[in-house]
Amino acid sequence: MIYVLTPEAMRAADAGAIARIGENELMCNAGLRVAERIRAIAAAEVPVVAFAGPGNNGGDAFAALAELAPAYECTVAADPTGRRSEARTAAEARATAAGVRVRPLPPNEQETRELLEGAIAVDGLFGTGARLPLPEPYRRLARALDGRERPVLAIDVPSGVDALTGAVADDAVRASVTVALAAIKPGLLLEPAREYTGELWCAKIGVEDAELAAQSREFAALDDQAFLRMLPQRASETEKYSAGAPLIIAGSAQFPGAAVLCARGAARAGAGYVTVATPSSAAGALRAHLVEQVVVELSDAAAPEAIADELLDISKRSGAVAIGPGLGLDDRTSQIFALFIQRNRLPIVVDASGLFHLSKRLELLRGKPCVVTPHAGEFARLSGRGTIAPGTRVERIREFVDRTGVTTLLKGSDTLIYDGGVVHINPTGTNALATAGTGDVLAGVIATLMSQGLSPVDAARAGAYWHGLAGQQAAGKRRIGIVAGDVVDSLGESIPVPASQHVNETRLR
């Protein structure tokens, strides 16, 4: 299991571990985990150069290279200023004894590049305590690390990244690999810092789960194993309705494809029986593309009250509802939407056109088991608070949910899920998901998971994680041209393999 801790919470968890096993052992463990990751990406003939700042992040760099030497040619360029902890002093001594060459930080950019020639670079300048912007000479060092062919490995947090907010300095280190120590810091999962971490690993260093869990009050994220534990399992006597029976209310003559994608996403997420209720003008197109799902026609001419009654009747054998993909924005649809939502008692996910209609009557969902899934533009209208300013996504989703009580999945490269407890940050995904229809697929997945018994927030968490995995799987097959149907087709094969319970590191991205 991974934990997402703010810098302040991480310091509190560290304090418990230090009192129990000592700071020296904690730093030795951190060095060992970083060294293992370096060995995984570079053969021994490749030199390793670490930049060590004045604090314990620099001490972790010394500890890592002490583990690598003498098999690797190792150099630490260290900042001689600042007060050193006993653990850092001990790490320096171990590194020197192991044959690590220790030298001052290079005085200019040219000498820095010469030092790094052909080497793996290790960023041990600043950890979670960094203040932005970076001061000199660290800005110069960070610039020298940019655009290198050889990997750059950051210890805990790339220097120049705000570990809490995800803000980045102009000259922040853009790492190829980041090894977060003990817990992920939220800034590593948030934009724009998310683009600076490269591969993101979380390494165990001796801080116990209980110490981390006690401080994990603000943020959370899934990993593969936690996701697998959330997925509902079919019992041997399962029949199609108990396997998950979502009702999809979607589609229109203009946008039948959205309903198709939502229904296919629901089916591929494991539903046993998917019903799609759609206007008569769209039903033919849906039936041409949906073989395994049941398509129910809704009259284009009947009164809104009659259609709402029909939907409520159809929903009696369903376990959850997805409403909105491709419905359209006309007044009649808005009336049907409101009448149905008022009387519906099933868990419901509202997406796309449904969010437009909901923005007029947000109180309709108060107290109901639901999740809304807006992207940034839809959220601006839904919240009534305008465009989301850079760096304020966490603040904005908290304000909206605390005000309305509506569980929200705020889409983006750093998708957030919040129900008033902790903010869940989704670590999976790819920019290949930025294509029409992928949100419809996600709504279908969430509807299935709710129909199988997951709460709205857990269905949103698991659905976002799975959807991101499927996007990554699809992107791995094609360099360009990913479409939403590729994501649907990748849902089943993107399920991760259960891992051993005894692992020292977990990859998030």
Q: Which pLDDT score, from 0 to 100, does residue 72 have?
A: 97
Q: What is the pLDDT at residue 85?
A: 93
Report how far residue 433's alpha carbon sits from residue 97's, in angstroms, rounded to the nearest whole number. 50
425 backbone φψ class: left, alpha, beta (φ>0; ψ -120 to 50)? beta
- For residue 500, is pLDDT > 90? no
Q: What is the mean pLDDT of residues 257-280?
A: 98
pLDDT > 70 in the chain, percent: 99
Nearest to 212 by CA among 201, 224, 199, 221: 221
- Asked if pLDDT for residue 320 goes beyond 70, the answer is yes
Query: For residue 39, with 0-12 CB atoms within 10 Å meaning exposed, 13-18 middle and 19 or more buried, which class applies?
Result: middle
Nearest Cα residue to 341 out of 333, 119, 92, 44: 333
pLDDT in tens, 457-480: 999 999 999 999 999 999 999 989
Which 3-state string (H, E, C) describes 111-172?
Answer: HHHHHHCCCEEEEECCCCCCCCCCCCCHHHHHHHHCCCCCCEEEECCCCCECCCCCCECCCC
Question: For 342-358, what is the mean pLDDT?
Answer: 98
Task: Please tell me whether residue 417 adopts helix, strand or coil conformation.
Answer: strand
> Is pLDDT of 501 > 60?
no
Q: Name the β-bridge partners of 416.
A: 410, 425
16-32 pLDDT tens trace: 999 999 999 999 999 99
Is the model's pLDDT at 503 over the cut of 80?
A: no
pLDDT for 148: 86
CA atoms within 13 Å, Cβ hemisphere of 236:
0
CATH 3.30.360.10, applies to 228-494: no
Mean pLDDT of 190-195: 96
| pLDDT at site 450 | 99
| Distinct helix (H) and strand (E) counts, the chain | 18, 18
Per-residue tokens: 143:
């610039």
Q: What is the pLDDT of residues 127-186, one digit of tens each?
A: 898 888 888 888 999 888 888 889 999 999 999 999 999 999 999 999 999 999 999 999
pTM above 0.85, yes or no: yes
The pLDDT, as a whole number, for residue 130 is 81
Which pLDDT does position 509 carry in this prediction?
76
Domain range list for the chain: 7-217, 228-494
Tokens of 103: 């030298």
Whether the predicted pLDDT of 204 surpasses 70: yes
The pLDDT assigned to 497 comes to 86
Q: What is the pLDDT of residue 506?
A: 86
- Structure confidence at residue 84 (pLDDT): 86
CA–CA dist 348, 354 (Å, integer): 11
Q: Which of 361, 279, 282, 263 lies closest to 321 in space, CA to CA?
A: 263
In the predicted model, what is the mean pLDDT of the chain?
95
pLDDT in tens, 54-108: 899 999 999 999 999 999 999 999 988 777 899 999 999 999 999 999 999 999 9
Q: Which amino acid is at 378?
A: E
Residue 251 has pLDDT above 60, yes or no: yes
Phi-psi region of 164 (alpha: psi -120 to 50; beta: other; left: phi over 0): alpha
Q: How far is CA 12 from CA 55, 212, 215, 349, 477, in A?
A: 17, 9, 7, 38, 43
Strand (E) or helix (H) holding 98: helix 86-98
Contact assessment for residue 60 and residue 122, using Cβ atoms and an 8 Å cutoff: no
pLDDT band (50, 70, 90) for residue 502: low
Q: pLDDT tens digits for 365-413?
A: 999 999 999 999 999 999 999 999 988 999 999 999 999 999 999 999 9
pLDDT bucket at 222, cuts 50 / 70 / 90: very high
User: What is the arithmetic mean of pLDDT over 324-339?
Assistant: 98
Q: Does domain 7-217 have CATH number 3.40.50.10260?
A: yes
